[in-house]
Amino acid sequence: MKKTIILSLGLGLILLTFLLISGQQSGVRPDECVLTAENCTVIMVGKKASADGSTMTTHTADCGICDWTWRYVPAADHKPGATRKIYRISQMRTWPPSEGLKWDLIKKDFTGVEIPEVPHTFGYMHGVFGYMNDQQLAIGESTIGNRPKMSNPTQTPAFNITMLTLLAMERCRTAREAIRLMGSLAEKYGYGGEDGGEMLAVADPEEVWVFEIMPVGPLWTPDSGKPGAVWCAQRVPDDQVSVCPNESRIGEIDLNNQDFFMASPNVISYAVENGYWDPKSGQPFSWKKAYSPAEGNAKDQPRRARMWRFFDLVSPSSKFSPSLPNMDFPFSVKPDRPLSVKDVMEMTRDKGYGTFFDPTRGIRGGPYKNPNYDSTARLISVRNAEYTTVTQCRGWLPAPIGGIVWLSWGAQDTACYMPFYAGIKALPPSFSIGDHWVFNRQSARWAFDYVDFHVQVAYSVAIEEIKKAREKWEDGALNQIPDIDRKALELYQKNPAKASDFLTAFSVSNAEAVVKAWWQLGDDLLVKFNHLSYYNTERRTVDRRKMDFPEAWKKAVRIIDIIFE
Residue 374 has pLDDT above 90, yes or no: no
Distance of alpha carbon 188 from alpha carbon 20, whole angstroms: 46
What is the spatial distance between Cα 432 and Cα 99, in angstroms, rounded to a whole number?
14
Instruction: Determine the pLDDT at residue 38.
Output: 63
User: Is 490 a residue whose pLDDT tops 90?
Assistant: yes
Mean pLDDT within 390-397? 98
Q: Domain residues of the chain, as ranges?
A: 2-20+533-564, 31-523
Residue 16 has what pLDDT? 34
Q: What is the pLDDT of residue 9?
A: 38
For residue 36, with 0-12 CB atoms within 10 Å meaning exposed, 13-18 middle and 19 or more buried, which class applies?
exposed
Rg (CA), the chain: 25
Please determine, for residue 10, whether its predicted confidence score (pLDDT) is greater than 50: no
pLDDT at 15 over 90: no
pLDDT in tens, 402-453: 999 999 999 999 999 999 999 999 999 999 999 999 999 999 999 999 999 9
Contact of 74 with 123, CB cutoff 8 Å: yes
| pLDDT above 70 for 13 | no
Average pLDDT estimate for 33-51: 81
Average pLDDT over residues 373-391: 93
Dist. CA 110–CA 312, nearest whole Å: 45
Where does the pLDDT of residue 33 fall: very low under 50, low under 70, confident under 90, or very high at 90 and above? low
pLDDT at 70: 97
For residues 154-158, average pLDDT: 97
Residues 6+ apart with CB under 8 A from 220: 152, 156, 157, 190, 226, 228
pLDDT for the residue numbered 403: 98
The pTM of this model reads 0.93
Residues 274 and 241: beta-carbon distance below 8 Å: no
Mean pLDDT rounded to a whole number for the chain? 92
Q: What is the mean pLDDT of residues 293-308?
A: 95
Residues 349 and 330: beta-carbon distance below 8 Å: no
Q: What is the mean pLDDT of residues 528-535?
A: 92
Amino acid residing at 534: Y
Examine the pLDDT at 221 and tell me if it is beyond 50. yes
**How many Cβ atoms from other residues are within 10 Å of residue 426's Cβ?**
16
Confidence at residue 139, expressed as pLDDT on a 0 to 100 scale: 98
Average pLDDT estimate for 138-156: 97
Mean pLDDT of 490-513: 98
In which band, very low, low, confident or very high, does the pLDDT at 320 lie, cut at 50, 70 and 90?
very high
For the residues 177-198, what does the mean pLDDT come to?
Answer: 97
Which one is predicted more confidently, 512 or 30? 512
Please give the pLDDT value at position 21.
33
- The pLDDT > 70 percentage for the chain reads 93
Share of the chain above pLDDT 90, in %: 85
CA neighbor of 484 nearest in space, from 395, 388, 400: 400
What is the predicted pLDDT for the residue at 362? 87
